[in-house]
């Protein structure tokens, strides 16, 4: 199935670039319908334009309430025929109506091994804590911040001489792999959500279909 994808960004957009590259190179069956930034001038918008993808700025500051901002996002995404939403460094929390509208179709990348270190500056939180291994998580979005069924995670070591910045870069390189892989599994219809032993919703990744 070709994923009709909308990508939400707030910044540089290296994860967006990884998605655009994978689509262009035939490694991901997706059609990026629109890239929306809540920040004017975010470099990711330029990346989208370079790839010939339509862009929009929807600045949260121009809305009276969180709800009104969410409604504007929903309307823009629907107008562009988006079915799945990738949060690629989108620094606003989405809940309520948005997650009802795109329930189990909103996918986030977070730069830690969730449930450790949710929230902002996750890489620095992990570094400052003194972890030996860090990483990233791709997950379906639920209303609690940085939570929801995990699709995939990738682990990196913390090395002697690291700073939180070198660790951030090592994690970021793995994010690019993880995000594309998770989206590819979804496009292949291989990601199922089910209720795990503790009652928490978890994913099951089905094996690839065997071609004749």
Considering the rule CB under 6 A, would residue 28 count as an interface residue with ligand GAR? Answer: no
Tell whether residue 172 is a contact of ligand GAR (CB under 6 A). yes
The answer to whether residue 166 forms part of the interface with ligand GAR (CB under 6 A) is: no
116 binds ligand GAR (CB under 6 A): no
Position among 7, 8, 13, 180 found at the interface with ligand GAR (CB under 6 A): 13
d(CA 89, CA 190): 24
Residues 168 and 154: their CA atoms lie apart, in Å, by 13
SS3 of 46, please?
Answer: helix
Binding residue for ligand GAR, selected from 33, 47, 110, 139, defined by CB under 6 A: 110
The whole-angstrom distance between residue 187's C-alpha and the CA centroid of its chain comes to: 15
Cβ-based nearer residue to ligand GAR, 143 or 208: 143
Q: Rounded to the nearest 10 degrees, what angle do helices 43-50 and 14-24 cross at? A: 10
Catalytic annotation on 110?
yes
Query: What are the residues whose beta carbons fall under 8 Å from the beta carbon of 59, sequence distance 6 or more?
Result: 38, 39, 40
Q: Which of 4, 14, 21, 170 binds ligand GAR (CB under 6 A)?
A: 14
Report the C-alpha gap between 200 and 99 in whole angstroms.
17
When binding is defined by CB under 6 A, the residue of 3, 5, 6, 15 that contacts ligand GAR is: 15
Distances (CA, A) of 175 to 97, 100, 202, 203: 28, 26, 20, 19
Print the binding letters for residues 186-205 with ligand GAR: x by CB under 6 A, - otherwise.
--------------------
Which of 3, 5, 48, 88 touches ligand GAR by CB under 6 A?
A: 88
Catalytic sites, residue numbers? 110
């Amino acid at each position: 199935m070709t994923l009709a994808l909308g990508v939400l960004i707030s910044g540089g957009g290296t994860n967006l670039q990884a998605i655009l590259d994978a689509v262009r190179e035939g490694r991901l069956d997706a059609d990026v319908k629109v890239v929306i930034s809540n920040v004017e001038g975010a470099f990711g918008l330029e990346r989208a334009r370079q790839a010939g993808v339509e862009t929009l700025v929807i600045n949260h500051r121009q809305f009276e309430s969180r709800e009104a901002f969410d409604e504007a996002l929903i309307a823009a995404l629907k107008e562009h025929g988006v079915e799945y939403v990738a949060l690629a460094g989108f620094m606003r929390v989405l809940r309520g109506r948005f997650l009802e509208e795109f329930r189990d179709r909103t996918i986030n990348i977070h730069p830690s091994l969730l449930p450790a270190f949710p929230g902002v500056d996750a890489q620095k939180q992990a570094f400052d804590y003194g972890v030996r291994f860090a990483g990233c998580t791709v997950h379906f979005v639920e209303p609690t911040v940085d939570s929801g069924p995990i699709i995939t995670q990738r682990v990196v070591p913390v090395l002697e001489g690291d700073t939180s910045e070198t660790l951030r870069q090592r994690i970021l390189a793995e994010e690019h792999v993880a995000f594309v892989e998770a989206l590819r599994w979804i496009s292949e219809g291989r990601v199922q959500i089910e209720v795990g032993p503790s009652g928490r919703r978890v994913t099951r990744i089905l094996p690839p279909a065997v071609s004749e």
